[in-house]
Structure 1
Amino acid sequence: MKITVSRDALVFLISKVASVVPQKPVIPILSNLLLEAKGSTLTLYVTDLTVSVRTSVEANIEREGQIALPAKRFFQLVKELTSNDIMIEVTDELVVVIHAGSSFFKLHGMNQSEFPFFPEISETLSLTFPAPQLKRLFTNSSFAAAKDDSRQALNGIFVRAKAREATFVATDGKRLAKIQAAIELAPEEEISSTIPLKAVEEMIRIMDDDLSVTLSFMEDKVALTSGVTTLVTKLIAGQFPDYERVIPDRSKMQPIHLHKEELVTLLKQIALFTSDVSQAVRFTFDRGRLDLEANHHEIGEGKVHMPVDYKDDTKVIALNPHFLLDILRHCKDEVIDFAMSDSFNPGSILDTTKSLYVIMPMRLSNDT
């Protein structure tokens, strides 16, 4: 194998795939990337056995071939080079010789046969989105997903698509995000899959904003294609919870309009009077105002309020301010619609982008 490739193009590819390489690989070969030179294309492969990424760039190829290289060291070296072009040549002893201007390096590689095969992509059901839209769908839902929960189905984003609508849902049991988008599927086609959170984060990273991207769903995996880059990940097995059961019926509630930025400011202030053990803030809706109160026996007490257009009887609910701040950061509207029934049932927030957020109440006590 002997090639010459643009240093800038190679750095761009590295930015797409580097984070997939595991920090603590279960087998040594996973700390490597696979370089493949064929025709006029240089292709990079990385995998952690759950998420696999393939991306490519045009190169001047004098001799075709493959080699597995230590990914982190190769990535760091390429980023530090200043030459416009890099020449990469593999010797018979699995040593990679790298020339960049007047610089010369040798890097020991591994036999490509040890590197896992890239997953096969079969005929599938596919959804196509403008990249910025899919990024928004993932970003506005993924923050609510669980991290390392024993209930595996919660450690990802559930995607359901049927007819003219796709729904992206994530929950950790304390909050829930449900985002919807218009699509086109045949009447008999339906998608119901849970994508792992790490894969979603990698998908967001590899998408180019000026391209359309395609999600291709198979029986046990899903592929994202963005230009010359393809990511394939295993799907999470198991049943995603019946999330509709915890979404309040907003038709029976009068929404309360809240100015988002003012509420964010007050939440940041009052959150300083909570701790990891006691995170509840008391929300009291009274005629014309919202009072927020937190009380901690070791920290102190905080009370803030803001005017609101509320004319009903007093309502009280305790919420986690950090969870509510997460939701507000993903709302695009200046004024949000908050709805609640009582202290014991979830509150919900709706914005004009078809985004619905649910936040579970916390226990009210004398300290809150």
Structure 2
Amino acid sequence: MKFDIMRDRLLDGLNDVMKAVSSKTTIPILTGIKIDVSAEGMRLTGSDADITIQTYIPVEENGEQVINVERPGSIVLQAKMFNEIVRKLPTNDVEFEVSEQFQTRIRSGKSDFHLIGLDSTEYPLLPELSEDNQFTLPADLLKSIIRETVFAVSTSESRPVLTGVHWQITGGEFVCVATDSHRLARRKVTLEHFPSEQSSVVVPGKSLTELSKILNDATTPVDIVMTNQQVLFKTNDVLFFSRLLEGNYPDTSRLIPDEYKTDVTVNGRSLLKAIDRASLLAREDRNNVVRFTTLQDGNIEISSNSPEVGKVEEQIQVGSLEGEELKISFSAKYMMDALKAIDGQDVVIQFTGAMRPFIIRSVHDDAILQLILPVRTY
């Protein structure tokens, strides 16, 4: 195998596939990156057995020669070392040559590296997925859906299925739900071209976080293929495979109340900042709890106190307040995460009592819904 490539383009590809490589893998070859070079271009593949990312670099892009291939071939190189070397090469022109016994020579300017590669036939093959159950979302929308839900997954492995986001397609609607059993984030999307077949999968939160880093903020289409064990995200030059979590996701629809005793409409950004300030004291207390109280004059008060540090109270003007008086306590972090997901819009917060879950959604639509369980403080 022998070829030249532009260093900056190779680095772009490495940045993507390195997100899938883990040093903790039990399969030694997966600490490496697989490089396949053909007359058309180069494929780079990284995997930790749960996530596999493959990126493609064509020989020519926008009329510019990116790769010059003399002899096609493939090799696996130790990922961390290879990435570090490419990052520090002195010029943008890089020459690769692989000789017998997978000896790999990398030259750039006056630098000349010799690496010992591995046989690429030992590298696991990509899963083959039937594309019957496929739909497409714009990259920026998919990125938003991940941002609005993935923070609520569980970090505890005691119930592995809760470390993922439940994706369901039913009746032309795409519903994404994450919960750690103390809070819940739900995002609904209605699109015209959904598979007619109903499907329900649980995508690991870790996979979605890594995918989000690769997606751009443009409306580039992302094809999504779901099977029983794998999900594949396809963009122009990246394939992102993730295994799915096994097990039945709990029925979360029954957690969402259908009647409310107190409704508050308030500016989400003002409330977020007030809770952030109150949590400065609450943070000293291990629970990070703030209290939300409705006032006689139709406004609300956010407060917190810490026996060792002191207390804070702040009144906030609301758009409207209807229903019963209320005092409720909750985790400042959970509330701030929920308000960030709704992104500074005016929000409606609906309560069914001091010890019942409450929901937060945008005034404009209920595509995004957040639910939080209160904390008992008395």
TM exceeding 0.5 = yes
- Deviation (angstroms), 1:344: 1.2
Name the amino acid aligned to 1:319: F
Q: Distance in 2 between matches of 1:114 and 1:78?
A: 24
- Corresponding position of 1:245: 254
Is the CA contact (8 Å cut-off) linking 1:163 and 1:183 kept in structure 2?
no
- Corresponding position of 1:285: 294
- Corresponding position of 1:141: 149
Q: Distance in 2 between matches of 1:317 and 1:268?
A: 17
Q: Distance in 1 between matches of 2:197 and 2:286?
A: 46
Name the amino acid aligned to 2:129: I
Name the amino acid aligned to 1:16: D
Is the CA contact (8 Å cut-off) linking 1:223 and 1:230 kept in structure 2?
yes
1:349 and 2:357 aligned: no
Is the CA contact (8 Å cut-off) linking 2:262 and 2:324 kept in structure 1?
no
Name the amino acid aligned to 1:239: N
What whole-Å deviation, never above 9, does each CA across 1:167-209 have from its counterpart, x for those lacking one?
1111111111100111235684112000011111121122233
- Corresponding position of 1:294: 304
Is the CA contact (8 Å cut-off) linking 1:124 and 1:218 kept in structure 2?
no
- Corresponding position of 1:267: 275
1:322 and 2:333 aligned: yes
What whole-Å deviation, never above 9, does each CA across 1:224-255 have from its counterpart, x for those lacking one?
001111011111000111111111215x4553
- Corresponding position of 2:78: 70
Report the secondary structure of 1:237's partner residue: coil
Name the amino acid aligned to 2:343: K
- Deviation (angstroms), 1:218: 0.9
What whole-Å deviation, never above 9, does each CA across 1:133-171 have from its counterpart, x for those lacking one?
011011111011112331111111110112321011111
1:60 and 2:60 aligned: no
- Corresponding position of 1:220: 229
1:364 and 2:377 aligned: yes
Q: CA RMSD in A?
A: 1.7
- Deviation (angstroms), 1:85: 2.1
With 301-310 and 211-220 compared, the bigger mean Cα shift is at 301-310
Q: Distance in 1 between matches of 2:286 and 2:110?
A: 59
Q: Distance in 1 between matches of 2:2 and 2:285?
A: 56
Q: Distance in 2 between matches of 1:41 and 1:318?
A: 58
Q: Which ranges in structure 1 are unaligned for 5 or more consecutive residues?
A: none
Q: Distance in 1 between matches of 2:113 and 2:18?
A: 21
**Closer/same/farther in 2, CA of residues 311 and 221 from structure 1, 3 Å limit:** closer
What whole-Å deviation, never above 9, does each CA across 1:82-107 have from its counterpart, x for those lacking one?
42221111110212101113321111
- Deviation (angstroms), 1:258: 1.1
Name the amino acid aligned to 1:323: Y
- Deviation (angstroms), 1:302: 2.1
Is the CA contact (8 Å cut-off) linking 1:4 and 1:86 kept in structure 2?
yes
- Deviation (angstroms), 1:39: 2.5
1:14 and 2:5 aligned: no
The percent identity for this pair of structures is 28
Q: Distance in 1 between matches of 2:312 and 2:115?
A: 59
Q: Distance in 2 between matches of 1:153 and 1:268?
A: 31
Is the CA contact (8 Å cut-off) linking 1:163 and 1:185 kept in structure 2?
no
- Deviation (angstroms), 1:357: 0.4
**Closer/same/farther in 2, CA of residues 278 and 207 from structure 1, 3 Å limit:** closer
Name the amino acid aligned to 1:25: T
- Return the match for 2:121 from 109, 113, 120: 113
Is the CA contact (8 Å cut-off) linking 1:96 and 1:106 kept in structure 2?
yes
Q: Distance in 1 between matches of 2:258 and 2:324?
A: 19
1:85 and 2:93 aligned: yes
**Closer/same/farther in 2, CA of residues 276 and 200 from structure 1, 3 Å limit:** farther
With 99-108 and 304-313 compared, the bigger mean Cα shift is at 304-313
Is the CA contact (8 Å cut-off) linking 1:158 and 1:240 kept in structure 2?
yes
**Closer/same/farther in 2, CA of residues 123 and 212 from structure 1, 3 Å limit:** closer
Q: Distance in 2 between matches of 1:311 and 1:208?
A: 42
- Return the match for 1:207 from 203, 215, 219: 215
- Deviation (angstroms), 1:307: 2.1
Is the CA contact (8 Å cut-off) linking 2:226 and 2:232 kept in structure 1?
yes
Runs of 4+ in 1 over 4 A off after TM superposition: 185-188
Q: Distance in 2 between matches of 1:227 and 1:360?
A: 42
Is the CA contact (8 Å cut-off) linking 2:35 and 2:43 kept in structure 1?
yes
Name the amino acid aligned to 1:240: Y
Q: Distance in 1 between matches of 2:326 and 2:156?
A: 35
With 49-58 and 96-105 compared, the bigger mean Cα shift is at 96-105
Name the amino acid aligned to 1:97: R
Q: Which ranges in structure 2 are unaligned for 5 or more consecutive residues?
A: 59-66
Is the CA contact (8 Å cut-off) linking 2:135 and 2:194 kept in structure 1?
no
